[in-house]
Amino acid sequence: MSADIKRRGLMLVLSSPSGAGKSTLARSLLTSDGGIFMSVSATTRSPRPNEVDGRDYYFVTPEKFESMANGGELFEHAHVFDHRYGTPRQPVLDALKAGRDVLFDIDWQGTQQLKEQTREDLVSVFILPPGHDELERRLKARAQDSDDVVASRMAKAASEISHWPEYDYVVVNRDLDRALGQIKSILEAERARRARLVGVGEFVADLTR
């Protein structure tokens, strides 16, 4: 017997305030790890150039979205400006069953909705910026931003950051490589979590036959 122990996939949630580098971390993780892929959301907004239906988003009509939400086909959904976004449930469940991991780039509200419906499948990581001055610098990225705009972004970031106690792990993004290494370690560790290794019984039975 030389195959790995059969396991159930996991849902890895990355959340952070703006300016913590989450998107870069998510992209790097997807590039460096072949076993995890991004959850594809459904949305009522129109495709932008280069966006592909089923890869970037599932583009649906407001009526279809409404029926998906009402029919319990979405793990979580939210209004952002005039559009609706949500996570179709079935593709995620299929992936978990096949032992593949799914990455979610969602905020604390989406995470809370997911937590209500999943148990040990969910692994949540909150990413923090390295310090106050660096956070301010990142929120001030555009030179023409007024002090008011930056102050309002900072207040929004502070409000998002206040949700760190709802997460399993906290990673400070002081150095991109180090933070990525920590997230990869979390992923590798959680893949070895006993509760996910549905094939241990079978493996052990063969071991001690």
Triad 155, 161, 164: Cα angle to 5°: 160
In the complex, what is the shortest distance from the CB of residue 71 to a copy of itself, in angstroms, rounded to a whole number? 34
Look up residue 109 and give its two tokens.
């509200």
Of 6 and 45, nearer to a copy of itself (C-beta) is: 6
3-class SS at 32? helix
Of 1 and 143, nearer to a copy of itself (C-beta) is: 1
**What is the DSSP code string of 34-94?**
TTEEEPPEEESSPPPTT--BTTTEEE--HHHHHHHHHTT-EEEEEEETTEEEEEEHHHHHH
Of 117 and 185, nearer to a copy of itself (C-beta) is: 185
In the complex, what is the shortest distance from the CB of residue 67 to a copy of itself, in angstroms, rounded to a whole number? 37
In the complex, what is the shortest distance from the CB of residue 149 to a copy of itself, in angstroms, rounded to a whole number? 17
- Measured between alpha carbons, how far is 128 from 171 in angstroms, rounded to an integer? 6
In the complex, what is the shortest distance from the CB of residue 144 to a copy of itself, in angstroms, rounded to a whole number? 24
Contact indicator for 121, 11 with CB cutoff of 8 Å = yes
Of 48 and 194, nearer to a copy of itself (C-beta) is: 194
Residues found near a copy of itself in the complex (CB under 8 A): 1-2, 4-5, 125-126, 128-132, 135, 154, 157-158, 161-162, 164-165, 167-172, 174, 181-182, 184-186, 188-190, 192-194, 197, 200, 203-204, 206-209
Of 30 and 195, nearer to a copy of itself (C-beta) is: 195
